[in-house]
Amino acid sequence: MTMNGTSCSKVSFDFARDFLPPVYILVFIVGLLANVFGLQFLRKNWKKVGPVNVFVLNLGLADLLYLLTLPFLVVNYLMKRKWIFGDVFCKITRFCFNINLYGSIGFLTCISVFRYLSIVHPMRVRGRLTSTHSVVISLVVWLLVCAQSLPDMFFPKTYHKKAKCFDTTTEDYTEDYLKYNVGWTITGFCLPFLVTVGCYAHVIVTLCRSSSTDRLLKQRSYKLLLVLLLLFSVCYIPYHVLRNLNLWARVVIRRGQCHGWFNAVYVSKQVSRGLVSLNSALNPLVYLHVSEELCTRLRTLLSRAKLHLRLDSTSSTNGPSAQGPEGDIY
């Protein structure tokens, strides 16, 4: 951010370079392992896949699409934000991020709606919600997300004099981008968020009022609600609020003003960028609360690991035998 050719000196521009690479490396490792494990499970149990699990599959694919771009972003920050991969690939990495972000929000919303229909209106939808419906809806979600993200590709992303790759756009187009981003936030985040909150509010009320609902179903619904609240409150809400605030700060700076709150907004926005990337590592938690079989398998693996550690601990505590077969001291 510049003001009349000079930088706004109160803004800590180096914070992102120090903060984001470790976060991206952690997200890449954890997210890749978790999503590959989840997708592998779905592949092996494809005949058992229900309508909701189709959305989970698409959620995993969206995560992998973004995770594969993280090594390039890490290189970018390690090279002091010098982008060496060209303008086209810069736009591709940003497009993959947007597809992951809004695709994740879209598929989480679909899961919430299907949960709502199956719990609140079980008799009306019994036998009517099929995997075919889920596939068609998933295609519609992909098309909507791509349509929302496509205008972003037409904004300049690189500043060749400094070889930078912007996650929004260059300074000359900041004001136009702010208007686009506000509309994008409303359609891509606010509306799906309200639908998700409405669905789960009704689900919780229904479960609390019903005394005949299966106890396991209640537990899984409550846990999935907690996961969704975690994703939205930690990953999505801070990012969208601070992204728009930071764009507004850039517009104000371009108009020749520099205020003390700019630094807090900029630093907070970089933290939110790290948090929003965590959604690719946290989304696999949805696998656990959608698929009971996967949950059971993980519990079995954890039980075996604990037993193995307990046996190793007992063996090391007892130690080796003090005498050999002939009674000689070792």
- The kind and range of the H/E element at 2 are strand 2-3
* Lowest-pLDDT range of 146-160, 244-258, 285-299: 285-299
Residue range(s) defining the domain that contains residue 133: 15-295
Would residue 228 count as lying in a domain?
A: yes
Would residue 9 count as lying in a domain?
A: no
| pLDDT of 310 above 70 | no
pLDDT of residue 322: 37
pLDDT of residue 7: 52
Distant-in-sequence contacts of 171-175, Cβ < 8 A, 24+ apart? 171/1, 171/2, 171/250, 171/254, 174/247, 174/250, 174/251, 174/254, 175/251, 175/254
Give percent of the chain above pLDDT 90: 43
Would residue 303 count as lying in a domain?
A: no
- Phi and psi at residue 238, to the nearest 5°: -60, -40
| pLDDT of 316 above 60 | no
Would residue 8 count as lying in a domain?
A: no
For the chain, what is the domain count? 1
Which tens digits make up the pLDDT trace of 113-168? Answer: 988 888 888 878 777 778 888 999 999 999 999 999 999 999 999 876 667 889 99
pLDDT of residue 47: 63
| pLDDT of 66 above 80 | yes
pLDDT of residue 242: 96
Would residue 115 count as lying in a domain?
A: yes
pLDDT of residue 125: 78
Would residue 216 count as lying in a domain?
A: yes
Which tens digits make up the pLDDT trace of 91-116? Answer: 999 999 999 999 999 999 998 898 88
pLDDT of residue 39: 83
Indicate the average pLDDT of the chain: 82
Determine contact, residues 94/164, Cβ cutoff 8 Å: no
Question: 296 pLDDT band (50/70/90 cuts)?
Answer: low
- Collapsed DSSP state (helix, strand, coil) of residue 124: helix
Provide the H-helix boundaries in the chain. Answer: 15-44, 51-67, 70-78, 87-120, 122-125, 131-149, 174-185, 191-209, 215-230, 237-254, 261-277, 279-282, 285-290, 292-318
Would residue 158 count as lying in a domain?
A: yes
| pLDDT of 2 above 60 | no
pLDDT of residue 119: 82
Query: Highest mean pLDDT range out of 48-57, 222-231, 234-243?
Result: 234-243
pLDDT of residue 176: 95
Instruction: Quickly tell me which residue has 């973004």 as its tokens.
Output: 66
pLDDT of residue 309: 64
Domain containing residue 130: CATH number? 1.20.1070.10
Question: 308 pLDDT band (50/70/90 cuts)?
Answer: low
Question: 44 pLDDT band (50/70/90 cuts)?
Answer: confident
Would residue 318 count as lying in a domain?
A: no
Return d(Cα 153, Cα 43) in angstroms, integer: 33
Question: 265 pLDDT band (50/70/90 cuts)?
Answer: very high
pLDDT of residue 185: 96
Which tens digits make up the pLDDT trace of 165-222? Answer: 899 998 889 999 999 999 999 999 999 999 999 998 888 888 888 776 667 767 777 7
3-class secondary structure per residue, 228-245: HHHHHHHHHHHHHHHHHH
pLDDT of residue 315: 56
Mean pLDDT of 288-307: 55
pLDDT of residue 294: 47
Give percent of the chain above pLDDT 70: 79
